[in-house]
Structure 1
Amino acid sequence: MNVASVSNLPAGAVDLFEREGITELYPPQAEAVEAGVTTGENLVASVPTASGKTFIAQLAMLSAIERGGKALYIVPLRALASEKAEEFQEFESLGITIGVATGNYEDRGEWLAQKDIIVATSEKVDSLIRNDAPWIDDLSCVVSDEVHLIDDPERGPTLEVTLAKLRRLNPAVQSVALSATIDNAEAIAEWLDAALIDTDWRPIELRSGVHYGDALHYDTGDTEKLSVQPNENPTAAIVRDTLQDDGSALVFVNSRRNAETAADRLGETVSSELSVEEQNELSELADEIRSVSDTETSSDLADCVARGTAFHHAGLTSEHRSLIEDAFRDRLIRTVSATPTLAAGVNTPSRRVIIRDWRRYDGSIGGMKPLPVLEVHQMMGRAGRPGRDPYGEAFLLAKNHDELDELFDRYISADPEPVDSKLAAEPALRTHVLSTIASGFVTTRSGLFSFLSETFYASQYADEEHLKSIIQRVLRYLTDNGFLTQSEESLSATSLGHTVSRLYLDPMSAAEIIAGLRSAGSGSISALGLYHLVTRTPDMYELYLRSGDREKYTEIHYQRETELLGPAPSEFDESAFESWLSALKTARMLEDWASELDEDDITERYGIGPGDIRSKVDTTEWLLGAAEELAAELDLSLTTSIRRARRRVEHGVRDELLELVNIRDIGRKRARKLYQAGIETPEDLRTANKATILSALDGREKTTEKILENADRDDPSVDDVQPDDANPADHTMSPELSDTTDNNSTSTKSDDQSHLGDFS
């Protein structure tokens, strides 16, 4: 089927596609058109990566807009939201507007009412429904990308409930679900009342197999010699062979530390294949990476990039990850070593994929566990880019002949696992039951059961009594904590329950915060106490305790016990007390950040990456904002202390710099330099000697003028102004600014927090 034969698209859409070289539809895309994707029919497309799933979604959204509607594209990750929104920008030439919504769970997103296509994470869509976003009712097409993530215990329930709510809000909405190839795609199609396209077709061949000895063993039964040279490991041998064929390689490993080590070791293999021009471009990219973050992780990444390799994991900042992904797509960076984060839908194809580690640590069993088949197939699907690669290849690595056979049986010849709903878990249900009642979706027990009967869980399992028993426990918990009131049949959220739902808090987090704030009474409340309170909620991933940490943080616990909010568990309750100490470790990290300890020192001390710091800071800022609203709701006189602690962690500064960091373009380091030069307030920026200010800002004239303009100085120009060398700012942090630090810290960079946020 050629694209010109597709009807119901906006004027100019076919011309746009043809200019991009899209003249013929792939078989799955043609099948989607025949199934009615451009006439409003529901559709589930279960097809391999790189087989044109996104184009199917585009056809659905464009035809919905042509019918006068609005389209919503739901993604699992914030990074993927930005990527898809950028991809859809091309439709602006057709007069179609694009909006992206990923953060601020209290925002109703009224501005999105003016957009034709809205890209958002499932959590953001859920929050928009809770906050009664007015444009939700106008949706005529909802696309759910990576819908198989309904199987994910963390994100799956939110996606499932969100899709069920959207369908109830607008029964006529077109549902389009995109998935990797899964075992029970027909079950999802049945739930969504959708036609199913289930195929293994790919535009270019994907060959998979296992490397063992000196050969590649393919799924076809063929073998190909690929020798491992002396002092070379199998991964390096495959990468070398790939680069010599002008390809790129993506290596999947099981931890951050392994990703960094593998990238470093592959530098020698890759650098020898680089041209002088590529070396120069990589040197410039390395400088850009160093400028993102002043940490050892950033420096190590830049060193790798200069040699044509990179590592990719959740410990990197979003800026780091974006730079790496773009350079890898452009094949400037030739090899990336990554944790499975990179397999989760982000567009990073390569000629070859090497799955070096097919087991990873699972804390629930205290040991290594094989990866799911679906996850391995997702990694393999990164191999091969249409129009760039003649083929794609993906390999696992075997150490012996028995493992060769095991890997073929476990992964190469195996079908992916079925997708199973994770909704019937109490942590998921307490959140979604409260929001469903608070948003007015249901007002009775029977209404609640009726709504939940429309979920994927209910379509999969006939055990209604099991679900009802869990719901009864959840309702009792929500009532006992003051979030709901209930009679024999009616259900209604209290004012506090409405607030908790609007703030997008797990009710258990809200209960923990409320109990902690009430325990403070009207007394003083420290930043550490507040950081510790929010870090021990279910909405925060704590740093885990390493060897020696239990003794260290037990001592800190007793030293600062009076600052901590709420009763500490008994030391004899090992699990509860260890969780308390893990939260204390996380709180100390946040306190160090808010006391202006250098980012590099924090990453070294706690064994984390710069991305972890920013992730924890963002979550803490959100939870403290919620705590501030809860304190106001309960009429507790703590809002000023909470707001100050929140702003300190937001900006990473001590109290005295809070006024300065309110000025745009003044961060924690510039604020400290200005303060040490005697510039302590915005008023000082408007009146102080310009030479002193210029000196404090390292003589950077453009930066100084921009800051003075932002501070509303009458004449921000520093033309002909010389830095005041007689009164230079002390640009180093004075010892008293590090009063929360521990000079006896034994933290090392090799202490890996790899299980934290790798799938965020």
Structure 2
Amino acid sequence: MELSEVDGVPEWLPDHLAGEGIESLYPPQAEAVEKGVTRGESLVASVPTASGKTLVAELAMLASVAAGGKALYIVPLRALASEKRAEFEAFEEYGVEVGVSTGNYESNERWLGEKDIIVATSEKVDSLVRNGASWIDRLDCVVADEVHLVDDRNRGPTLEVTLAKLRRINPDLQVVALSATIGNADELADWLDAGLVDSDWRPIELRKGVHYGQALHFDDGTQRELRVKSGEKPTAAIVRDTLQDEYDEEGNVAEEGGSTLVFVNSRRNAEAAARRLASTTAEHLDAEEITQLREVAEEIRSVSDTETSEDLADAVEQGAAFHHAGCAPGHRSAVEEAFRDRLVKCVCATPTLAAGVNTPSRRVIVRDWRRYDGSAGGMAPLSVLEVHQMMGRAGRPGMDPYGEAVLLANAHDELDELFDRYVWAQPEPVRSKLAAEPAMRTHVLATVASGFAASRGALLEFLEQTLYASQTDESGRLERVADDVLGYLEANGFVERDGDGLQATGLGHTVSRLYLDPMSAAEIIDGLRDADPTDVSALGLYHLVSRTPDMYQLYLRSGEREDLAMMAYERESEFLGAMPSEFEDERFEDWLSALKTAKLLEDWADEVDEDRITERYGVGPGDIRGKVDTAEWLLGAAESLAAELDLGSVTAVREAKKRVQYGVREELLDLAGVRGVGRKRARRLYAADIETRADLREADKSVVLGALRGRRKTAESVLENAGHQHPSMEGVDADESARPAEAPAVEDGEGDGERAIDEEDQATFGDF
């Protein structure tokens, strides 16, 4: 189908897409148009990765906007929100306004009401509904990207309930659900009253197979020799083969070598594999690539002063990289961009990279098809859907002539097993996880508090509109779980019942607005109510929020239990709530896990060097950032709850929140709050006797320049943000006596973007 044949879209769209090389629609896209996606008809598109799902969404949203409507694009991950924003911003030159929202669960963000297309995570959309965003009822089109994630135990229930609420608010809402190929796309379509495009079409060929012995065995029955050298691992052999150019009969390069994604089952394996494969990729770099990769490596080193940064940068300099949740966001984005630019030739990743983020490659190697599963008590096979998601990353349209995705077998029986289990298998059906009690606690309270249900009957009627209700054969299960949850909410003062009638209390409304699991709120409230407000410590507060269901606690490593138990007894008076007996094994273990998490937060707030924290707790910089962000959110919620209940600990909670937010001791809070200062610059300024924001406003500029190591633009920006009347550093010489000890001198005019790693940054702030 030609673009000119598509009705309902803006007149400028065909020319715009032609400028991007898109002259006609792929078959699944054409089928979506035929089924009315540009005429407001709901649709489920279950098609492989790289087959044009995003354009289907764009056609629907732009048709809606052209008709005077408003569109919402729901993504599962913040990183994917940023990626989609960058894509959709290309429409702004035609007057389409795009807005993005992913954080701050307490706001309704009225400014989004002025946008034509809004990109947000499902959690953010859920919170916007709870907080009564006025523009929600003006939505005409909602796109749910990666909708198969309704099967995810953590994210799925929120996406499912959010879609149900949006359809309840807007009865004529168009829902466009995008999915990888799944086994029951028809069930999702029935649930959403939508048409269905269920296709296995891809723009370029994807060959799936297994490497065994000295050959690749493909799903079409063919084989291709791919020899593994003596002392070489099969993964390295495949990466080496992928990097080699292909030649025609005359000896000319017919196809340049390509890139490889290697999926492994743990962070440690991702890092180890990248280190090993760096020696393979390094042999295929030219001089220009080496220079560019050194620049990327420096960017990575500037993200954090940790071993993870250094190890990643070392691998990147040789054309390889790793990618996992322990990497900081800056690490991951740098790797993704360098991989898309074909500078990094091989990325070793955990399966998280398979979901959403646009990182296709010539070949995909699924090295590990088992991973540890605590519920199974050991290693368990990955799902077919997850492996197919990884395999779907093979082959980038417009850049690769084909894609190949292979698993690795160590024996002939395993070769047959992998073909049966994954290559020839169909993905599993997705199943709702809404009936799990943790999910129901949160969503039942929100449903009552936001006015969707004023009675038990109305609540059950709403729940009947969910995917779970359409899938379950277990009579009465939803009703039983809902009643159990209502009993819990009533016992904790979040809802009141009058016969069949339901009403959220003021406290219940606050908990819903704060986006807390009600069990987290109950834990926080109990801890603060029992506390002496004059004797609340930061560690006690960090431990309180760390033992809530909303905080993912650090695991106890072998040998840590005894040391943490000793610390627990030594600091027992600081805890907000009674410590369980050590003979209550499971409860005591959870208490100690929360203590380990709280101690990490305390170290961060005590300005312990980031590298020391990663080493001590066995985490990556991304984990630190995640724990800090979660603690800041939970402490902000605790502050709101303490204020509502008129508890005397509000000030202590607020200070603990600020300290963990900025990663500083109490004396630096004022300085660190100046935009552009942060924990390390605040300490340098403080050492130069600039102790407050007011001091900074009136400071001698030569002292500020010296304390900030001669970086003029940084100093000017900091002074401007502090409100200095004359922030310009023109003609100012740095006061060398204010320059931090051990810091290398910086020539005037250098350092437009200060690196985070300096010699003095490696200093610690106390032994631990």
TM-score, length of structure 1 as denominator length: 0.96
The correspondence for 2:692, drawn from 681, 686, 706, is 681
Match of 2:714 in 1: 703
Aligned-pair distance for 1:690? Answer: 2.8
**Relative to structure 1, is the Cα distance of residues 279 and 729 closer, same or farther in structure 2, using a 3 angstrom cutoff?**
closer
CA-to-aligned-CA distance 1:52-72 (integer Å, 9 cap, x gap) = 111111111111111111011
Residue type of the partner of 2:290? Q
The correspondence for 1:276, drawn from 281, 287, 292, is 287
Give the aligned length. Answer: 741
Match of 1:41 in 2: 41
Match of 1:151 in 2: 151
Q: How far apart, CA to CA, are the structure 2 residues paired with 1:686 and 1:450?
A: 60
The correspondence for 2:395, drawn from 377, 384, 390, is 384
Does structure 1 retain, via aligned residues, the 8 Å contact 2:407–2:418?
A: yes
Helix, strand or coil at the partner of 2:406: strand
Q: Does 1:592 align with 2:608?
A: no
For 1:197-276, list aligned pairs within 5 A.
197-245=197-245, 246-276=257-287
The correspondence for 1:367, drawn from 374, 378, 386, is 378
Does structure 1 retain, via aligned residues, the 8 Å contact 2:73–2:143?
A: yes
For 1:483-632, list aligned pairs within 5 A.
483-632=494-643
Does structure 1 retain, via aligned residues, the 8 Å contact 2:73–2:120?
A: yes
Q: How far apart, CA to CA, are the structure 2 residues paired with 1:329 and 1:518?
A: 53
Q: How far apart, CA to CA, are the structure 1 residues paired with 2:477 and 2:7?
A: 47
Does structure 2 retain, via aligned residues, the 8 Å contact 1:264–1:304?
A: yes
Residue type of the partner of 1:23? E
Q: How far apart, CA to CA, are the structure 2 residues paired with 1:137 and 1:349?
A: 37
Q: How far apart, CA to CA, are the structure 1 residues paired with 2:711 and 2:191?
A: 61
Residue type of the partner of 1:629? S
Does structure 2 retain, via aligned residues, the 8 Å contact 1:249–1:334?
A: yes
Q: Does 1:458 align with 2:457?
A: no
Identity between Structure 1 and Structure 2 (%): 66
CA-to-aligned-CA distance 1:607-657 (integer Å, 9 cap, x gap) = 111111111000000000000000011110111100000000000000000
Q: How far apart, CA to CA, are the structure 1 residues paired with 2:739 and 2:82?
A: 43
CA-to-aligned-CA distance 1:523-567 (integer Å, 9 cap, x gap) = 310000000000110000000000111001000000100001101
Match of 1:650 in 2: 661
CA-to-aligned-CA distance 1:457-512 (integer Å, 9 cap, x gap) = 11111434111111111000000000000022100000000000000000000000
The correspondence for 1:314, drawn from 325, 341, 348, is 325
Aligned-pair distance for 1:713? Answer: 2.1
Aligned-pair distance for 1:694? Answer: 2.0
Q: How far apart, CA to CA, are the structure 1 residues paired with 2:701 and 2:523?
A: 49
Residue type of the partner of 1:450? E
Q: How far apart, CA to CA, are the structure 2 residues paired with 1:449 and 1:342?
A: 37
Match of 2:164 in 1: 164
**Relative to structure 1, is the Cα distance of residues 34 and 719 closer, same or farther in structure 2, using a 3 angstrom cutoff?**
closer
Match of 2:86 in 1: 86
CA-to-aligned-CA distance 1:129-154 (integer Å, 9 cap, x gap) = 00010000110011111110000000
Does structure 2 retain, via aligned residues, the 8 Å contact 1:211–1:398?
A: yes
Extract unaligned runs of 5+ from structure 2. Answer: 246-256, 743-758
Does structure 2 retain, via aligned residues, the 8 Å contact 1:673–1:730?
A: no
Q: Does 1:427 align with 2:438?
A: yes
Does structure 2 retain, via aligned residues, the 8 Å contact 1:32–1:43?
A: yes
Match of 1:756 in 2: none
Match of 2:728 in 1: 717
Q: How far apart, CA to CA, are the structure 2 residues paired with 1:170 and 1:248?
A: 45
Aligned-pair distance for 1:720? Answer: 3.5
Aligned-pair distance for 1:728? Answer: 4.5
Q: How far apart, CA to CA, are the structure 2 residues paired with 1:146 and 1:734?
A: 41
Does structure 2 retain, via aligned residues, the 8 Å contact 1:11–1:94?
A: no
Match of 1:175 in 2: 175
Residue type of the partner of 1:670? R
CA-to-aligned-CA distance 1:216-252 (integer Å, 9 cap, x gap) = 0101111111000112100000000000031100000
CA-to-aligned-CA distance 1:140-199 (integer Å, 9 cap, x gap) = 011111110000000100000000000000110001111111111100000011111111
Match of 2:755 in 1: none
Q: How far apart, CA to CA, are the structure 2 residues paired with 1:608 and 1:736?
A: 19
Q: Does 1:6 align with 2:17?
A: no
**Relative to structure 1, is the Cα distance of residues 387 and 485 closer, same or farther in structure 2, using a 3 angstrom cutoff?**
same
Does structure 1 retain, via aligned residues, the 8 Å contact 2:323–2:347?
A: yes
For 1:334-483, list aligned pairs within 5 A.
334-483=345-494
Aligned-pair distance for 1:736? Answer: 12
**Relative to structure 1, is the Cα distance of residues 308 and 736 closer, same or farther in structure 2, using a 3 angstrom cutoff?**
closer
Aligned-pair distance for 1:692? Answer: 2.5
Match of 2:105 in 1: 105
Match of 2:304 in 1: 293
Q: How far apart, CA to CA, are the structure 1 residues paired with 2:765 and 2:712?
A: 30
Aligned-pair distance for 1:90? Answer: 1.2
Q: How far apart, CA to CA, are the structure 2 residues paired with 1:252 and 1:729?
A: 44
Q: How far apart, CA to CA, are the structure 1 residues paired with 2:242 and 2:763?
A: 54
Q: How far apart, CA to CA, are the structure 1 residues paired with 2:7 and 2:372?
A: 51
Does structure 1 retain, via aligned residues, the 8 Å contact 2:662–2:673?
A: no
Q: How far apart, CA to CA, are the structure 2 residues paired with 1:55 and 1:43?
A: 13
Aligned-pair distance for 1:329? Answer: 0.9
**Relative to structure 1, is the Cα distance of residues 53 and 726 closer, same or farther in structure 2, using a 3 angstrom cutoff?**
closer
Aligned-pair distance for 1:733? Answer: 7.9
Match of 2:756 in 1: none
Does structure 2 retain, via aligned residues, the 8 Å contact 1:256–1:315?
A: yes
Helix, strand or coil at the partner of 1:230: coil
Does structure 2 retain, via aligned residues, the 8 Å contact 1:595–1:737?
A: no
Helix, strand or coil at the partner of 1:659: helix
Does structure 2 retain, via aligned residues, the 8 Å contact 1:13–1:94?
A: no
Q: How far apart, CA to CA, are the structure 2 residues paired with 1:725 and 1:71?
A: 56
| Runs of 4+ that moved beyond 6 A | 731-737
Does structure 2 retain, via aligned residues, the 8 Å contact 1:10–1:94?
A: no
**CA RMSD, aligned part only?**
1.4
Match of 2:747 in 1: none
Helix, strand or coil at the partner of 1:236: helix
The correspondence for 2:649, drawn from 625, 638, 647, is 638
Match of 1:116 in 2: 116
Helix, strand or coil at the partner of 2:427: coil
Aligned-pair distance for 1:737? Answer: 7.7
Aligned-pair distance for 1:725? Answer: 3.0
Does structure 1 retain, via aligned residues, the 8 Å contact 2:105–2:124?
A: yes
Helix, strand or coil at the partner of 2:141: strand
TM-score, length of structure 2 as denominator length: 0.95
Does structure 2 retain, via aligned residues, the 8 Å contact 1:146–1:179?
A: yes
Q: How far apart, CA to CA, are the structure 1 residues paired with 2:635 and 2:275?
A: 39
Match of 1:671 in 2: 682
CA-to-aligned-CA distance 1:331-352 (integer Å, 9 cap, x gap) = 1111100001110111100000
Does structure 1 retain, via aligned residues, the 8 Å contact 2:261–2:348?
A: yes
Aligned-pair distance for 1:727? Answer: 5.2
